[in-house]
A and B are shown apart, each in its own frame.
Chain A
């Protein structure tokens, strides 16, 4: 104990010293931009990320093996890794490093009596919440018991969650159980907003030599191909309930929209309108309509039709390019891109085409708008302050007009799409090399940027609830 205390004292002293040195250094590298820096406290828009995240300890789950059962070792590792990654990337927890944990780690609820909790609440762990449990194999089945405890001592009922899961003893099943348990924890402690452990991301990849639509888990796992046209396929869109996929393909020789049922795998009817260009499909929140862009004359215009493309209503009547509609999930207003002012800018209009106003003012070009799930925020890619083509992701609080820049000049960053919980964004970036476009995710405050893809080049991601 004495030994540890001297280490901590030493550490604290050195940190204080470092802090003093840092603050006394001349500030030479002040970023020149006038926009808010990436500090959650400074972001003046409602991004659903807590300012004071809960300090969360997640003990490795203990493994048990019944006689003549599969080894639980690999399953437990997959489970522990997935659970940790889900909670760490959720944006609502401040993860306590495992090196600070007490030696005695519980597996079952009865192994954490009130006195034992104090060891987790005290330094060095200083945790507020603790997750622990067991993974056991019984024959070719696996069982998981997971617990969430409030270890602060403030609660009369420390156990917040106790969950039991059973499935086949397969790594994939272990991953899914970990995602589900993480979702429960995040749902409980994250203001009632469910986690995204089981959400997926649709995107375009050229890794087979042709651009096709692919899908992956939200964390980049399980990447597999959806379309097999061996042609050119672009711009996926997915319905709000995750049951339908739309995209643009050149398969017929023209640029046409296709709609696919993700439940049956069957192609659904879609009546294309323009003789040549039909693209940028976007499902209405109820899934009964599709907004898209088509050119019947020289200009591309935005239409809103039934989900089969029938009964299209023309919403824009402007020269040039009118494209990339995104429908607000709460009030059905449509954000879109138009060249009407001379170059690409983002506009918002009512669902009948009225009440148009420009969102991106003040230089540069703005493209690929995307509404947040709560309808309050609009993310888009903008070259404001940068050379043509060098987009960064911006988010605007649409009612107040407040703006935050989430990426800063690392290549082109474009095509944002929100996670179902509104706390994350997926986007396309070539920050790893100009000819190396990949799909990345980040928290809605611009932190925790992660590459999800690396095979071939990967483009235009959209986040789906499932």
Chain B
């Protein structure tokens, strides 16, 4: 009886030992090497044919409502969307077409050209009333979303990149041509900083865009800045493409 008890006990302890060994021998995750931030999107050395993706969400809207175009490309040095003009290699843009529209994206790179399309179907609102705010001319909203574009930043940086300067110039030209428009520049960050630091970084990005517009002759009185830090991402994937889309200075009409 006594020896049976001891044997049972020994078996249990052996089991525990095995579990303990397993835990002790489980490989510990090796810390990754400190890497520098991924470089900004550069033209590819090998001329691979570009790829392009474009979608509209929602694909169907009532007149006066907005749909969001979202696109991404690879291997492209120049990307255009019909009626929107030159755009970043990936991004999002709100559109408010007044009639059904097919948006065509053309991605051009050293490896050739690729295109993608997305259609936004516009339906008439039900009943005699419309959803368009009566106080503002809807065509001004359309013009704004079609012409004013998002500025993108490098990781933990707030200076306006060289490849973003033409876009900023385009925004300045549009605002100069519409002197009554006021804008909010929202500063956003990718998910990798602390919440608080990103509030500061987003603020600094928005202010950098405001300063750069000032240098192009747009009065600071027309511009309000607002930092959202990492609180309002446009995507939540864990890769450089998504992080780049989130590191942005986004324009809104100030109402």
Are the CB atoms of B13 and A368 closer together than 8 Å? Answer: no
Cα A330 to Cα B21 in complex, Å, equals 46
Contact A234 B35, CB 8 Å, known A276-B203, A276-B227 = no
Q: Is B25 an interface residue (CB 8 A)?
A: yes
Residues of chain A with a CB closer than 8 A to B29's CB: 408-410
User: Is B14 a contact partner of A14 (Cβ separation < 8 A)?
Assistant: yes
A254, A323, A368: the one contacting B200 at CB < 8 Å is A323
Q: Would B197 and A323 count as touching, CB distance under 8 A?
A: yes
The number of residues on chain B lying at the interface, defined by a beta carbon within 8 Å of a beta carbon of chain A, is 51
Q: A14-B17, A255-B226, A385-B34 are in contact. Are A248 and B199 (CB under 8 A)?
A: yes
A248–B31 alpha-carbon span in the complex (Å) = 34
Q: Is A10 an interface residue (CB 8 A)?
A: yes
A interface residue numbers (CB < 8 A to B)? 3, 6-7, 10-11, 14-15, 18, 21-22, 25, 28-29, 31-33, 211, 232, 234-235, 248, 253-255, 276-277, 279-280, 293, 295, 297-300, 320-324, 337, 339, 343-344, 363-365, 367-368, 381, 383-391, 408-410, 414-415, 434-435, 459-460
Q: Mark B169-205, 1 if CB is under 8 A from A, else 0.
A: 0000000000000000000000111111101110110
Q: How far is the CB of B217 from chain A (nearest CB, A)?
A: 18
B136 at the interface (CB under 8 A from A): no
Are B231 and A211 in touch, CB under 8 angstroms? yes
**8 smallest A-B Cβ distances: which pairs?**
A389-B192, A321-B200, A367-B194, A298-B207, A323-B200, A277-B203, A300-B200, A385-B31
- Which B residues from 1 to 46 make CB contacts under 8 A with A? 2, 5-6, 9-10, 13-14, 17, 20-21, 24-35, 37
Tell me the smallest distance from the CB of B138 to a CB of chain A, in Å.
Answer: 23
With the chains together, A300 CA to B199 CA distance in Å? 10
Q: For B10, give its contact among A14, A33, A367 (CB under 8 Å).
A: A14
Complexed CA–CA distance, A459 and B191 (Å): 13
Inter-subunit contact B34/A384 (CB<8 Å): yes
Pick the most buried of B13, B197, B207: most chain A CB atoms within 10 A of its CB. Answer: B197
- The residue from A28, A254, A364 contacting B34, defined by CB atoms under 8 A apart: A364
The yes or no answer to B57 lying at the interface (CB within 8 A) is: no
Residues of B within 8 A of A337 (CB): 194, 196-197, 200
With a cutoff of 8 Å between Cβ atoms, the chain A residues found around residue B206 in the complex are 276
A277 to B226, CA, bound (A): 7
Select B225's contact among A232, A276, A391, A410, beta carbons within 8 Å: A276
Q: How far is the CA of A414 from the CA of B194 in the complex (A)?
A: 7
A322 to B192, CA, bound (A): 17
